[in-house]
Amino acid sequence: MKRLTILLAIPLLLTMTNCKQEKQGFTGSPIPQTVIDQTIESIVDQYGDNSLFRIERGVNQVATLWREDDGNAEEFTSFCNDNFIANENDLETLFNKLSTGYEVLFGNFLRITKDLMRPLHLDMGPITPIDMMFGGFSPSAHLTEDLFANRIAFVTTLNFPTYSLKEKTELGPKWTRKEWAFARMGDIFTSRVPAELVQNYSQISTNADAYIDSYNICMSELRSNNDEQLFPDGMKLITHWGLRDELKSQYANGAEGLEAQQMVYQVMKRIIDQSIPEMVINNPEYTWKPYSNDVTQDGKAIKYTPEPNTRYEHLLNLFGATQKMDEFNPTMPNLIQQTFEGNYEIPVEEVEQLFIDFASSQQVRDAGKLISQRLGRPLKPFDIWYDGFKSRSSIPAQTLDNVVAKRFTSAKAYQNEIPNILTSLGWSKEKANFLQSKITVEGSRGAGHAWGGAMRSDVALLRTRIGQGGMDYKGFNIAMHEFGHTVEQTITLHDVDYYMLKGVPNTAFTEALAFVFQKRDLDVLGIKDNNTMKSHLLALDNLWSSYEIMGVSLVDINLWRWLYSNPNATPEQLKEATISIAKDVWNKYYADVFGSTDEPILAIYSHMISNPLYLSAYPIGHLIDFQLEQQIAGKNFANEVQRIFEQGKIIPQLWMKGAVGTPLSIEPTLNAAEKALKIVL
């Protein structure tokens, strides 16, 4: 769950990638085409035709980003003539110096942002208005304009061409590592988003994150209509992660857990339709009956107001802030295209078709029948989170909690255990100690997240929720997921050969390694899993997890399409649309499996509210995860992880071929599940 890693850094990322173009109201370059052509001709006369492609593209790129304040046509031509570099050695020198400079700038600005967000992300007492102000401040908001003003950005874009996704797909397999690094240098400046819009998005995003991070349900204060308390004293769960994981844990309790699961789902529905009493959110002073929606205090009925569509107001605010930036990206005029084609580097149509084909598969339907048989009852909507294919599902929750609590008593204890975790997974002691030195563990206010650095002198942050009595198993399982992110973030920053290739193709690839780590939680705890069906169970678990999150992702995609079609929507209208879209996706791909229609459960994910269009990274990550597991099987885990992730940030399908020899596909997961379904009973 790399929930915050990308979008909390979005002010920095927006200055680096795909939001275009200039000052508000600007509709085109002030440089005439005749001047562009003459400038190209003059540089070709100076250096010859060998650099013709770079000259043509570089000059055109500079012209696209040039503003009247940058100078007149004569100054434009002089700049291009004076700063184009044709000599290969000189170009490499420029590349190295730019790489160093950008690491200093991007790395330090990101570190400042992370430090300013500490009071919001860590449990450092009540959040005050000034904490929100600092958290919403984007130190790098003016960085892009400053780099254009002193012309560093223009030097970069003049000498390092930007390539389209189509060009990268066609040319990338033949590129050297240096050529790939040069291409990523060309990706840095494709736009000039006004600083005030970047700052505005940062503030609104911070507000949404703070809302989600403090959205807790006091489970011990819930009552059935018969006044039964189903959850232990003091239990408080964040939505949606905590609620989902509690629901999952109840499968170990068999039929006794069903009543608790049904109550959790009722709470979720109240959150989705905003009928939840506002006063019970993160407040243990009131007793709440989710079914009747009654609230009492000391046995006396309390009048209340439901939450006033706050959930959807935050999403609407994010859409408004995003839409203001869209006009500066005429080649990718909406966030959907910017996210999938620009950031994921996979067109949304391809991603959507993968999800639809998977969710429509016969293997999913056969798995649903198997789950129903194993549960001994018809499926319920919340069985999208069925957890019974994991080998540890047969281990009592209390046993797992005891093992974890004894070893991971605090954030510091987890920090100290990092070398032991890594050596147990195959890393050498020396490498494990190095990775530990670049990862800092902190107790999280929210559900937890991982946040890497952008310079090698910084650390990756592993923030995880830890109770007063230490970790429980659910917390440890999530922490292992986040730990996988920090290992990836450290490897792809320190072990990749070029700084401009740091990272992974897109966020799905870091999610994949996080899933790989998360599945090894019992190995780390020293609990042996001798189940001979383990590989088949993993195949079915991956199938069902992918099925669940693909539906959620389809809701997310279609919700943003609706927003762009209804830009003046109210929070109430957005709520109704969200529920309608969630029910529609359910009816198309889930109703025949679960035997019920018009279920809203796919709309519960908190990512939809604070991290626009991030959700698709998870199902893509599941598909990658499964292909990685097949590759790693029988090999040294650590060596394979290092080899695969040292590829860095190249396009997804090329990365996959280098990692596992084949492109991204749903077939490995479906084929393995089909085989498993014939064996697992």
pLDDT digits (tens, 9 = 90+) for 298-330: 999 999 999 999 999 999 999 999 999 998 887
Tokens of 591: 């109703």
**DSSP label at residue 23:** S
Cα-based distances in Å from 515 to 107, 443, 560: 27, 21, 27
Q: Give the pairing type, strands 460-464 and 448-451.
A: antiparallel
Give the rounded distance of the alpha carbon of 465 from its chain centre: 18
Pairing of strands 460-464, 439-443: parallel
Strands laid side by side in the 448-451 sheet: 439-443, 460-464, 448-451
Arithmetic mean of pLDDT over the chain: 92
Q: Report d(CA 265, CA 604) in Å as an integer.
A: 10
Residue 46, Cβ neighbours under 10 Å: how many? 12
Domain-embedded: residue 285: yes
Pair (96, 183) in one structural domain: yes
Q: Cβ atoms within 10 A of the Cβ of 166, count?
A: 9
The whole-angstrom separation of Cα 249 and Cα 230 is 14
Q: Please state which of the ranges 285-289, 321-325, 405-409, 469-473 shows the lowest mean pLDDT.
A: 469-473
Tell me whether residue 332 is in a domain.
no
**Helix, strand, coil % in the chain, rounded to nearest 5:** 65, 5, 30
| Spatial contact of 537 and 676, defined as CB atoms under 8 Å apart | yes
636 touches 422 (CB < 8 A): no
Residue 26 or residue 199, greater confidence: 199
pLDDT at 7 over 90: no
The pTM (predicted TM-score) of the whole model is: 0.84
Judge whether residue 147 has pLDDT over 70. Answer: yes
CB-count exposure of residue 150 (10 Å: 0-12, 13-18, 19+): exposed
535 and 413, same domain (yes or no): no
Residue 564, Cβ neighbours under 10 Å: how many? 15
Q: Which residue has the tokens 């549960």?
A: 375
Cα separation, 234 vs 286, whole angstroms:
13
pLDDT at 10: 33
**Structure confidence at residue 217 (pLDDT):** 98
Q: What is the C-alpha separation between 554 and 351, in angstroms, rounded?
A: 10
Structure confidence by residue, pLDDT tens digits, 628-672: 999 999 999 999 999 999 999 999 999 999 999 999 999 999 999
Q: Please give the residue range of the domain that contains residue 432.
A: 396-503
Residues 410 and 534 in one domain: no
- Residue 123: the pLDDT is 84
Please check whether residue 324 lies inside any domain of the structure. no
Q: What is the CA radius of gyration of the chain?
A: 26
Residues 592 and 611 in one domain: yes
> What's the DSSP call for residue 443?
E
Q: Does residue 277 have a pLDDT over 70?
A: yes
**Cα-based distances in Å from 221 to 200, 259, 481:** 38, 16, 30
Q: Return the closest-CA partner of residue 353 out of 671, 670, 665.
A: 665
Q: Do the domain assignments include residue 626?
A: no
Residue 25 reports pLDDT greater than 50: no
Are 220 and 242 in the same domain? yes
Residue 535 maps to a domain: yes
562: number of Cβ within 10 Å: 16
Instruction: Look at residue 540 in the predicted model and tell me its pLDDT.
Output: 96
Is residue 641, in this structure, part of any structural domain at all? no
Whether residue 401 sits in one domain with residue 279: no
Residue 154 scores a pLDDT above 90: yes
Query: Residue 30: exposed, middle, or buried by beta-carbon count in 10 A (0-12, 13-18, 19+)?
Result: middle
- Number of domains observed in the structure of the chain: 4
SS3 assignment, position 247: helix
Contact 577, 558 (CB under 8 A): no
pLDDT at 394: 64
Q: Give the number of other Cβ atoms within 10 Å of residue 432's Cβ.
A: 20
Q: Is residue 442 part of a domain?
A: yes
Indicate the residue type of 397: A
Residue 242: both structure tokens together: 């905590």
253-263 pLDDT, tens digit each: 888 899 999 99
As a whole number, mean pLDDT of residues 197-218 equals 93
In this predicted model, what pLDDT tens digit does every residue of 373-405 receive, in sequence order?
999 999 999 999 999 887 665 677 788 899 999
Across residues 141-167, what is the average pLDDT? 94
For the record, the structure tokens of 213 come out as 């991070």
Q: Is 441 in the same domain as 371? A: no
Q: Write out pLDDT tens, residues 45-76.
A: 999 999 999 999 999 999 999 999 999 999 99
Question: Facing residues of 216 across strands?
Answer: 238
Residue 541 lies in a domain: yes
Asked if 99 and 188 sit in the same domain, the reply is yes
264 and 406 in a single domain? The answer is no
> For the segment 566-597, what is each residue's pLDDT rounded down to a tens digit?
999 999 999 999 999 999 999 999 999 999 99
Residue 333 clears pLDDT 90, i.e. is over it:
no
Q: How many Å from the N-terminal Cα to the C-terminal Cα in the chain?
A: 30
Residues 569, 662 within the same domain: yes
Q: What is the pLDDT of residue 663?
A: 92
Rounded CA separation 81/45 (Å):
11
Structure-token pair, residue 66: 């040039």
Q: Are residues 385 and 412 in the same domain?
A: no
pLDDT at 399: 86
The closest of 632, 633, 619, 634 to 664, measured between CA atoms, is 619
Please check whether residues 248 and 170 belong to one and the same domain: no
Close Cβ partners of 226 (under 8 Å, ≥ 6 residues apart): none
